[in-house]
Amino acid sequence: MRILELNFEKGWRGGERQTLYCLQGLSEAGVSVALACRAGTPMEAEARKLDVEVFAFPHIFQLIVFLITRGKRFDCLHAQTSSVLTYCVFTKWIHGCKTVYSRRVNFMPKGYLTWLKYRYTDKLLAISEAIQETLIQFTHRTDIEIVSSISVQEIIHPEIAATRMNALPLKGKKCIASMAAFTYEKDPFCLIEAIHILKQKRADFIFLHFGEGRLKPEVEAKIASYGLEETYILMGFVDEPQAYYPYFDVFVMSSLQEGLGSSVLDAFMYEVPVVSTLAGGLKNLISGQRGIAVNPGDPVALATALNEMLQYEKAHNPYIPAAKAYVEKQHDMKQITQKLIDQFDRLCNH
pLDDT one-digit tens code per residue, 244-254: 999 999 999 99
Residue 205, SS3 per DSSP: strand
Q: What is the pLDDT of residue 249?
A: 97
Return the CATH number at 291: 3.40.50.2000
Q: Do 185 and 291 fall within a single domain? A: yes
Same domain membership, residue 89 and residue 37: yes
Give the C-alpha distances (Å, rounded to integers) separating 72 from 4, 41, 119, 341.
10, 25, 21, 19
Query: Which residues constitute the domain of residue 76?
Result: 2-150+332-348
pTM equals 0.89
Using an 8 Å Cβ cutoff, are 302 and 188 in contact?
no
Domain co-membership, 284 together with 319: yes
Q: What percent of the chain is modeled with pLDDT above 70?
A: 100
Query: What are the DSSP calls for 90-105, one per residue?
Result: HTHHHH--EEEEEE--
User: Do residues 218 and 307 share a domain?
Assistant: yes
Domain shared by 181 and 274, yes or no: yes
Q: How confident is the model at residue 314 (pLDDT cuts 50, 70, 90)?
A: confident
Which residues are bridge partners to 76 per DSSP? 3, 98
CA distance 342 to 123: 12
Q: What is the DSSP letter of 226?
A: T
The whole-number average pLDDT for the span 13-27 is 94
* Same domain assignment for residues 170 and 238: yes
CA–chain centroid gap for 285, Å, is 13
Tell whether 121 and 226 lie within a shared domain. no
121 shares a domain with 169: no
Number of domains composing the chain: 2
Residue 81 and residue 35 share a domain: yes
Identify the CA nearest to 292 among candidates 321, 251, 236. 251
Q: Are the C-beta atoms of residues 129 and 106 closer than 8 Å to each other?
A: no
C-alpha span between 106 and 59 (Å, rounded): 27
Is the separation of the CB atoms in 312 and 285 below 8 Å?
A: no
- To the nearest whole percent, how much of the chain has pLDDT over 90? 91
Cα 169 to the center of its chain, rounded Å = 29
- Counting beta carbons within 10 angstroms of the beta carbon of residue 281, is it exposed (0 to 12), middle (13 to 18) or buried (19 or more)? buried
Regarding whether 265 and 122 lie in a shared domain, the answer is: no
Let me know whether 127 and 215 are in one domain.
no
Question: pLDDT tens digits for 103-143?
Answer: 999 989 999 999 999 999 999 999 999 999 999 999 999 99
pLDDT band at 43 (very low <50, low <70, confident <90, very high): very high
| pLDDT tier for residue 205 given thresholds of 50, 70 and 90 | very high
In this prediction, residues 195-201 reach a mean pLDDT of 97
71 and 164 in a single domain? The answer is no
